[in-house]
Amino acid sequence: MKKFARKRNSDLEKLEGRRFLNLDRIMTLLCYLILITVVILPVFMIIYYAFWDGSKIDFQMFLNVLLQKENLTAIKNTLIIAVFSTTLATVVGVFFAWLLGRSDIPLKGVMKFLFSIPFMIPPFLAAMAWDMMFSGRGGYVNRWLMNTFNLASAPFNINTVMGIIIIEVVYYFPFVYMQVVSALERMDPTLEESARIAGAKQFYVIRRITLPLTIPAISSGVLLVLITSLSNYGIPAMLGFSQNIFTLPTMIVERMNRAGGSFEGIRQATALSIVLVVVVSLALLLQRKLLTVGRYDIIKGKSMRPALIKLRAAKYPLLIFSLVFLVLVVLAPLVMILLVSFIKAYGLNFAPENFTVANYKRILINNTMVKDSVGNSLFLGFAAGIICLFLGAMLAYVIYKVKPKGRGVLELLAVLPYSLPGTVLAIGCILAWSGAFFGVTLYNTIWIILVAYVARYLTYTLKSSSASLQQVHVSLEEASRACGATHLESLRDITLPLIKPAMISGFFLVFFPAMRELTTSVLLYGPNSRTLGVAIYQLRINGQIAPAAALSVITILLIMICNNVVKRITRDKKGV
């Protein structure tokens, strides 16, 4: 009978829907249309190219590519780098999360700020900076160490698999830290207190209660790092190319470049893309498994500050260690880039007479490529941000409020590109928009980058809009209907203003990553559509290291300024 009642309920909902069908149905159809265009077509094209040789289905090529020695090495490298960097990043991240979340270590504010810096700097810039410090004999730090200690050979070499792993660790551990520290902060302190009352000592409580309860947070951090590492392009490209160390993403790009547009070359790249997607999907599956095992709610109870563990004698050694570590891994690369950007020629010593502002002059004045790239990146950031903002809000509304049949499909489609590595998405876009459909050719224009960005970042705005939309209770809209407002008026006057803050923050969630993007744009740029990332990358590849550093400094400044503006805007919002 219960079942029957529920069925009746859904009938009623349907009935209710019929009255507003026009507006709601238009939005639903629009959502399907857009998602099919930006998501389904590229994915379809990759599969099509990988298994269709022009006349018949063909698995042979796929197998051949898979078994090529250099591809096998790339797969092996990818896996080794991902596994080791994830493990180490997790250890470091959990350690700092515990230190800041549960101990009485001083200077927490300073450390929290330092943790936020890696989120602002694009990974390939960090890799470039580390390369400047530790690349074989050429690295500044290596040279200084050799001179000081009279060493015959360079003590460190960052252009190795090991080097890539270390850089990924220092770049990725804040991801784990963020997840775990927020879980620790939300955890009901009485869970730990009741263990103490039961007679358990502080460290026994950590082992038996605190750590097991944070496992869901840790595992989601782990998977985030794992997936990012698997699909990362910037770091292995910056550090590995010179030594012919390839990972799957860099190998895919390499194939595309080598192919020069030949059918066979593109097919090889698509085959590798499919391998990469399979690996990432496996990781995602693993995540889903892990997260369903540990689904419990640790957020409840009175908000009380948890008791902090006194570090006593270990307090200052730990503080010094943490600060040194953070300064080294976070600030040192920034300083390095800044210094190099003022050097006359890369390789010269940091002596006063070797400094100059010529690099800035060179890139800022008379360099159309750089000027274009700044303009392009700003345009792409704004355009992708605004498109995603409205598209995300509309999708969220359709999925959570209109609830059409098959909304699960819509949701899946919107989240799918998030798990697609940027390189793969880029190839899909190239294949789809080089005249394959309706003769639309966007290749070599800025529009293809925009389409790729929209597909890639739509998830962010969808998430922020839907989180906020789910908090807008039905009764708020019903109240306005009862006050005499039509459906459209209720949407305009009530729902939209209420989710506006989330939509704005969603915009910036898209704007920032778009500003510093490299992975996708490196495959999609054309002569007039370079982005900032591409411009820096090309300068660096062409050996113009000092100008590359100068442009990096400008990029970082630009991001920081935007970041500040955002903070000010959001603060004003709260003040009202």
Rounded Cα gap, residues 138 and 154, in angstroms: 9
Q: Does 575 bind other proteins (CB under 8 A)?
A: no
Contact 461, 509 (CB under 8 A): yes
**Region near other proteins per CB under 8 A, out of 37-45, 82-90, 293-301, 382-390:** 293-301
Q: Does 574 bind other proteins (CB under 8 A)?
A: no
Shortest spacing between CB 490 and other proteins, in angstroms: 9
78: phi then psi, degrees, rounded to nearest 5: -55, -45
Give the footprint of other proteins on residues 489-518 (CB under 8 A). 489, 493-494, 497-498, 500
Question: Which residues does 44 contact at the CB level (< 8 Å), separation at least 6?
Answer: 432
Give the footprint of other proteins on residues 445-484 (CB under 8 A). 473, 475-476, 478-484
C-alpha 353 chain-centroid distance: 40
Which of 54, 109, 199, 260 touches other proteins by CB under 8 A?
199
Contact 480, 494 (CB under 8 A): yes
Which of 302, 312, 405, 571 touches other proteins by CB under 8 A?
302
Give the footprint of other proteins on residues 111-130 (CB under 8 A). none
Shortest spacing between CB 479 and other proteins, in angstroms: 4
Q: Which is nearer to other proteins, 361 or 500 (CB)?
A: 500
CA dihedral 142, 144, 148, 153 (to 10 degrees): 30
Q: Does 188 bind other proteins (CB under 8 A)?
A: yes
Residue with tokens 């899909």: 428
Give the footprint of other proteins on residues 206-265 (CB under 8 A). 208-209, 212-213, 215
193, 227, 261, 293, 453 from 522: Cα distances, Å = 53, 20, 15, 39, 13
Q: Which is nearer to other proteins, 285 or 483 (CB)?
A: 483
Q: Does 309 bind other proteins (CB under 8 A)?
A: no
Rounded Cα gap, residues 277 and 273, in angstroms: 6
Q: Does 292 bind other proteins (CB under 8 A)?
A: no
Dump the DSSP string for 103-147: B--S-HHHHHHHHHHHHHS-HHHHHHHHHHHHSTTT-HHHHHHHH
**Region near other proteins per CB under 8 A, out of 112-120, 196-204, 237-245, 322-330:** 196-204
Q: Does 109 bind other proteins (CB under 8 A)?
A: no
Shortest spacing between CB 78 and other proteins, in angstroms: 33
Shortest spacing between CB 267 and other proteins, in angstroms: 49
Strand partners, 309: 103
Q: Does 23 bind other proteins (CB under 8 A)?
A: no
Which of 16, 264, 353, 572 touches other proteins by CB under 8 A?
16
Q: Which uninterrupted H or E stretch holds 486?
A: none
Which of 301, 317, 347, 435 touches other proteins by CB under 8 A?
301
First to last CA, the chain: 51
Residue 424 CB neighbour total at 10 angstroms: 30
- Residue 128 tokens, joined: 């470039």
Q: Does 312 bind other proteins (CB under 8 A)?
A: no
Rounded Cα gap, residues 234 and 225, in angstroms: 15
**Residues contributing to the site for other proteins (CB under 8 A):** 1, 4-5, 8-9, 12, 15-16, 19, 188, 190-191, 193-201, 204, 208-209, 212-213, 215, 294, 296-298, 300-302, 307, 473, 475-476, 478-486, 489, 493-494, 497-498, 500
